[in-house]
Amino acid sequence: MTDSSSSTGKPQKDPGLPLPGREGEEVAFERTVPARTDRLTGRSRDRIRALDVVYEADARRRDVNDVLSDRIARTAAQSPLPPYARELVALYAQHVEEIDEQLSTHSRDWPLHRMPAVDRAILRLGTAEVVHGPEQADTPRGLIVGEYTKIAEVLSTDDSPRFVNGLLQRMLDMRGLLG
Number of domains, the chain: 1
Plot region of 42 (φ>0 → left; ψ -120 to 50 → alpha; else → beta): left
**Alpha helix positions (H), the chain:** 43-60, 64-73, 83-94, 96-106, 117-127, 141-155, 160-178
| Average pLDDT across the chain, whole number | 81
The pTM for the full model equals 0.76
79-89: b (≥16 Cβ within 10 Å) or e: eebbeebbbbb
Q: Of all residues in the chain, what percent carry a pLDDT higher than 90?
A: 58
Kindly state whether residue 15 falls inside one of the protein's structural domains. Answer: no
Kindly state whether residue 22 falls inside one of the protein's structural domains. Answer: no
Kindly state whether residue 12 falls inside one of the protein's structural domains. Answer: no
Confirm if 156 and 163 have CB atoms less than 8 A apart. Answer: no
Which comes out higher in pLDDT, residue 30 or 170?
170
Q: How far apart are CA 9 and CA 3, in angstroms?
A: 11
- Is the per-residue pLDDT at 157 higher than 70? yes
Kindly state whether residue 163 falls inside one of the protein's structural domains. Answer: yes
- Is the per-residue pLDDT at 51 higher than 80? yes
Domain range for residue 67?
Answer: 40-178
Kindly state whether residue 170 falls inside one of the protein's structural domains. Answer: yes
Kindly state whether residue 26 falls inside one of the protein's structural domains. Answer: no
Kindly state whether residue 16 falls inside one of the protein's structural domains. Answer: no
pLDDT on residue 137: 64
Domain of residue 68, CATH code: 1.10.940.10
pLDDT digits (tens, 9 = 90+) for 104-118: 999 988 899 999 999
Q: Which of 2-11, 40-49, 75-84, 123-132 has the highest mean pLDDT?
A: 123-132
Kindly state whether residue 91 falls inside one of the protein's structural domains. Answer: yes
